[in-house]
């Protein structure tokens, strides 16, 4: 189930599904580890209402639920109505901006014409460090709260009304010994109060409300995280002292101030685009760890279809998000990312496939042996893109001391690697995996990125007085630009090839699949100008072959893309990022303000495919517009922000 709300503070990230239930709970690093996680995808923090001798959980179809982020703050909002039982629930949800606490303020309303006793049940299914072994849950009478712990991870659960703290609890097992979950104990409205359990442990608490007709009552609920039970005790005390509602208010104020820091004038844009711009920035920030790592997505539902999730730092994706933060004015966030990546570079001067946000190497399917020969299991564009966008960062902020601190450890070895990892015969980069992580060879996108990365490394070297190094980098880059023109452009079709590699006889073997990334890479890394004849011919081909003719519209990644392709669909799936790449191209060639309308329409298209709460997926069904794959995809949100800023900048130029 797609995430409707992701909220966090750079250490704690929480994902709520479309029913307002907690599905992801990352701490102490964003993306690592998820303490509500599992390959079955069934772990969830349920919300239930017991009234008139029956329990009703929010995942029941009788509940009509809407939720998302508030307009201008990283605070979630939920409204759930069940006309059958005459109850509505509203909530405000926040992860405190300073303290590692999830705060939820539920307002329960009795819509019946008679007074009733209503019980609110809140269940928790934790698998601490993503393992069911050795967890302990217990009721702690010192603070009258439930505590889950394992190793150096402690989680405290508490709730109160204006009458006092929760009056029922139970702690039990789930997922083992034929136990579906302790939430089942709420079926009769009375919890057994088992005080301790170990193994695969879950818990549930209950609060009793007496509501007159049309009366409402608030329930404050919080989950505190720390490295010890003593630490979560202190956080619990802080919440009680400061008042949980007040802490949500101050968190809301902080994120409003964060959004208003740059005072970007969005008034020329439709309201829906303005709102999604703000929500995109907040979603991007929630997926950014305070140590610098930026993960691709926090959505763990992919475990239902595959072997892993998107909760890793891909250097390329993350560099593009960091670049977006730069363009939007958030220098501190981007600087931490570039420092994080500098710490990960291998001694050979290259970055690996992906990393965890704690700096540990992430999982990978790229082999070290291909056709019996050793090869680097890398996507070279990740190294090149990071260097290229670091130069963009410097050009905006001119933080020379920061750049100098990264030159010897990151920029110089990356530049040397890009110079050495070149085919002598063609002048193109040696083979690596493409940005889609599928093809091994030299893709047009990767070649373009290395050209851009080498030009950036040359500028850094020149700026720091290393002129010989600068000239070498630039000479190799210029030769590579010529090689892109010579080897990767098909004059007959007017298209740049997807990639090229050597066959067993050493001859060049071409993959002529039309790929939208080939066009985008040549523009992003400034290999060719927008008005170059080759680019114009490539755009014509992309418009003809990669635009979706189905209900959803948009552009696909490449011809016959089968990733998440749906049975019976009229075409491959359109992607947010590939569609917005084209939108920015149209904006760049606009000659008068009216010419911007096409790009603006595509921004509207992207916004129209977001959830009501402002979450954008990776791709959509070409006929039904259903969101597919991971959601949210942070890269999609970054491309949206970049496209909004490109529109505003170009509109100002054309005035």
Phi, psi of 361 (to 5 degrees): -60, 135
Query: Do 427 and 560 lie in a common domain?
Result: no
Provide the pLDDT for residue 179. 80
- Whether 355 is in a domain gets the answer yes
Q: Is the omega angle on the peptide bond into residue 524 within 30 degrees of 0, that is, cis? A: no
Q: How confident is the model at residue 42 (pLDDT cuts 50, 70, 90)?
A: low
Query: Do 516 and 560 lie in a common domain?
Result: no
Least confident of 305-319, 335-349, 566-580: 305-319
Share of the chain above pLDDT 70, in %: 98
Q: How confident is the model at residue 302 (pLDDT cuts 50, 70, 90)?
A: low
Task: Provide DSSP, 225-280.
Answer: EESSHHHHHHHHHHHHHH-HHHHHHHHHHHHHHHHTSS----TTS-HHHHHHHHHH
Q: Is the omega angle on the peptide bond into residue 33 within 30 degrees of 0, that is, cis? A: yes
Rounded Cα gap, residues 194 and 556, in angstroms: 54
**Does residue 508 carry a pLDDT above 70?**
yes
Rounded Cα gap, residues 81 and 583, in angstroms: 39
- Whether 366 is in a domain gets the answer yes
Q: Is the omega angle on the peptide bond into residue 603 within 30 degrees of 0, that is, cis? A: no
Tokens of 433: 């995996």
**Does residue 654 carry a pLDDT above 60?**
yes
Provide the pLDDT for residue 307. 67
Q: Are 169 and 139 in contact (CB under 8 A)?
A: yes
What pLDDT digit, counting tens, does each position of 539-560 carry? 999 999 999 987 889 999 999 9
Q: What is the mean pLDDT of residues 382-401?
A: 98
Provide the pLDDT for residue 309. 87
**How far is CA 174 from each of CA 121, 183, 378, 386, 528, rounded to the nearest angstrom?**
17, 9, 40, 44, 58
Tokens of 529: 């100008």
Query: Do 403 and 516 lie in a common domain?
Result: yes
What 3-state DSSP class applies to 291? coil
What 3-state DSSP class applies to 11? coil
Query: Do 554 and 493 lie in a common domain?
Result: no
Q: Are 22 and 47 in contact (CB under 8 A)?
A: no
Q: What is the mean pLDDT of residues 214-229?
A: 98
Query: Do 117 and 85 lie in a common domain?
Result: yes
Provide the pLDDT for residue 131. 87
Query: Do 12 and 58 lie in a common domain?
Result: yes
Domain closes at, from 191, 216, 247: 247
Provide the pLDDT for residue 263. 83
Which stretch of DSSP H or E encloses residue 581?
Answer: helix 576-588
Q: Are 455 and 477 in contact (CB under 8 A)?
A: yes
Query: Do 48 and 163 lie in a common domain?
Result: yes
Provide the pLDDT for residue 655. 86
Provide the pLDDT for residue 129. 93
- Whether 309 is in a domain gets the answer no
The domain that holds 503 is classified in CATH as 1.50.10.10
Query: Do 210 and 266 lie in a common domain?
Result: no
Q: What is the mean pLDDT of residues 97-110?
A: 98
- Whether 17 is in a domain gets the answer yes
Q: Are 406 and 399 in contact (CB under 8 A)?
A: no
Query: Do 611 and 537 lie in a common domain?
Result: no
Rounded Cα gap, residues 292 and 63, in angstroms: 39
The domain that holds 120 is classified in CATH as 2.70.98.40
What pLDDT digit, counting tens, does each position of 568-606 carry? 888 999 999 999 999 999 999 999 999 999 999 999 999
For the chain, how many structural domains are there in total? 3
**How far is CA 225 from each of CA 12, 128, 147, 152, 387, rounded to the nearest angstrom?**
8, 11, 10, 11, 36
- Whether 526 is in a domain gets the answer yes
Rounded Cα gap, residues 410 and 268, in angstroms: 41
Tokens of 391: 């130069």
Q: How confident is the model at residue 504 (pLDDT cuts 50, 70, 90)?
A: confident
**Higher pLDDT pick, 339 / 505:** 339
Q: How confident is the model at residue 303 (pLDDT cuts 50, 70, 90)?
A: low
Domain closes at, from 545, 580, 595: 545
Provide the residue range defining the domain that includes 60: 3-247
Query: Do 110 and 213 lie in a common domain?
Result: yes
**Does residue 443 carry a pLDDT above 70?**
yes
Domain closes at, from 247, 274, 294: 247
Quickly list H helices, 464-515.
467-487
Provide the pLDDT for residue 305. 53
Query: Do 528 and 655 lie in a common domain?
Result: no
**Does residue 455 carry a pLDDT above 90?**
yes
Rounded Cα gap, residues 428 and 480, in angstroms: 5
Tokens of 598: 């096409």
Residue 353: closest CA among 391, 322, 314: 314
Q: What is the mean pLDDT of residues 462-473?
A: 98
Provide the pLDDT for residue 1. 58
Q: How confident is the model at residue 128 (pLDDT cuts 50, 70, 90)?
A: very high
Q: How confident is the model at residue 262 (pLDDT cuts 50, 70, 90)?
A: confident
**Does residue 194 carry a pLDDT above 90?**
yes
The pLDDT mean for the chain works out to 95
- Whether 420 is in a domain gets the answer yes
Query: Do 278 and 357 lie in a common domain?
Result: no
**Higher pLDDT pick, 505 / 143:** 143
What pLDDT digit, counting tens, does each position of 401-416 carry? 999 999 999 999 999 9
Least confident of 36-40, 71-75, 503-507, 627-631: 36-40
- Find residue 489's DSSP bridge partners: 496
Cα-to-chain-centroid distance, residue 16: 14
- Whether 301 is in a domain gets the answer no
- Whether 318 is in a domain gets the answer no
**Does residue 241 carry a pLDDT above 90?**
yes
């Amino acid at each position: 189930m797609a995430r409707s709300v992701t909220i966090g503070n750079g250490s704690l990230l929480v994902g709520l599904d479309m029913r307002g239930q907690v599905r992801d709970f990352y701490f102490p690093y964003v993306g690592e580890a998820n303490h509500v996680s599992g390959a079955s995808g069934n772990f969830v923090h349920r919300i239930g209402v017991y009234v008139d001798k029956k329990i009703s959980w929010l995942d029941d179809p009788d509940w009509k639920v809407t939720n998302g982020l508030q307009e201008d703050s990283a605070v979630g909002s939920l409204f759930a109505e069940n006309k059958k039982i005459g109850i509505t629930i509203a909530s405000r949800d926040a992860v405190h901006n300073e303290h590692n606490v999830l705060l939820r303020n539920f307002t329960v309303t009795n819509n019946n014409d008679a007074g009733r006793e209503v019980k609110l049940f809140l269940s928790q299914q934790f698998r601490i460090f993503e393992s069911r072994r050795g967890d302990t849950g217990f009721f702690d009478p010192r603070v009258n709260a439930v505590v889950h712990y394992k190793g150096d991870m402690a989680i405290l659960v508490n709730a109160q009304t204006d009458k006092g703290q929760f009056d029922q609890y139970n702690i039990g097992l789930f997922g083992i010994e034929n136990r579906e979950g302790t939430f089942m104990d709420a079926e009769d409205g009375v919890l057994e109060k088992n005080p301790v359990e170990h193994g695969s442990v879950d818990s549930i608490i209950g609060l009793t409300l007496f509501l007159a007709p049309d009366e409402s009552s608030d329930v404050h609920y919080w989950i505190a995280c720390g490295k010890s039970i003593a630490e979560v005790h202190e956080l619990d005390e802080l919440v009680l002292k400061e008042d949980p509602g007040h802490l949500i208010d101050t968190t809301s104020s902080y994120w409003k101030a964060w959004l208003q820091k740059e005072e970007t004038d969005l008034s020329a844009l439709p309201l829906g685009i303005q709102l999604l711009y703000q929500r995109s920035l907040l979603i991007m920030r929630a997926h950014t760890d305070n140590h610098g790592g930026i993960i691709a997505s926090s959505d763990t539902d992919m475990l239902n279809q595959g072997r892993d999730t998107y909760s890793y730092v891909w250097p390329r994706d993350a560099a593009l998000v960091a670049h977006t933060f730069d363009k939007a004015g958030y220098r501190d966030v981007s600087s931490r990312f570039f420092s994080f990546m500098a710490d990960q570079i291998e001694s050979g001067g290259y970055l690996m496939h992906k990393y965890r946000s704690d700096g540990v190497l992430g999982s990978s399917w790229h082999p070290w042996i291909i056709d019996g020969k050793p090869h680097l299991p890398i996507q070279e564009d990740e190294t090149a893109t990071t260097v290229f966008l670091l130069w963009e960062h410097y050009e905006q902020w001119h933080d020379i001391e920061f750049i100098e601190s990264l030159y010897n450890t990151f920029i110089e070895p990356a530049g040397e690697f890009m110079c050495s990892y070149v085919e002598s015969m063609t002048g193109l980069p040696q083979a690596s995996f493409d940005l889609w992580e599928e093809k091994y060879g030299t893709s047009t996108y990767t070649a373009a990125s290395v050209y851009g990365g080498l030009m950036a490394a040359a500028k850094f070297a020149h700026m720091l007085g290393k002129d010989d190094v600068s000239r070498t980098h630039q000479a190799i880059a210029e030769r590579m630009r010529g090689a892109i023109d010579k080897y990767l452009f098909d004059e007959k079709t007017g298209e740049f090839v997807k990639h090229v590699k050597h066959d067993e006889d050493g001859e060049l073997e071409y993959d002529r699949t039309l790929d939208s990334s080939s066009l985008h890479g040549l523009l992003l890394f400034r290999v060719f100008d927008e008005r170059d004849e080759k680019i114009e011919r490539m755009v014509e081909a992309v418009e003809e072959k990669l635009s979706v003719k189905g209900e959803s519209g948009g552009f696909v990644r490449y011809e016959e893309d089968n990733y998440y392709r749906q049975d019976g669909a009229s075409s491959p799936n359109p992607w947010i990022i590939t569609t917005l790449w084209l939108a920015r191209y149209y904006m760049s060639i606009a000659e008068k303000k009216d010419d911007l309308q096409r790009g603006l329409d595509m921004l509207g298209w992207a916004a129209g495919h977001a959830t009501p709460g402002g979450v954008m997926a990776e791709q959509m069904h070409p006929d039904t517009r259903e969101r597919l794959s991971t959601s949210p995809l942070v890269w999609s949100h970054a491309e949206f922000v970049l496209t909004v800023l490109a529109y505003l900048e170009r509109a100002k130029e054309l005035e």
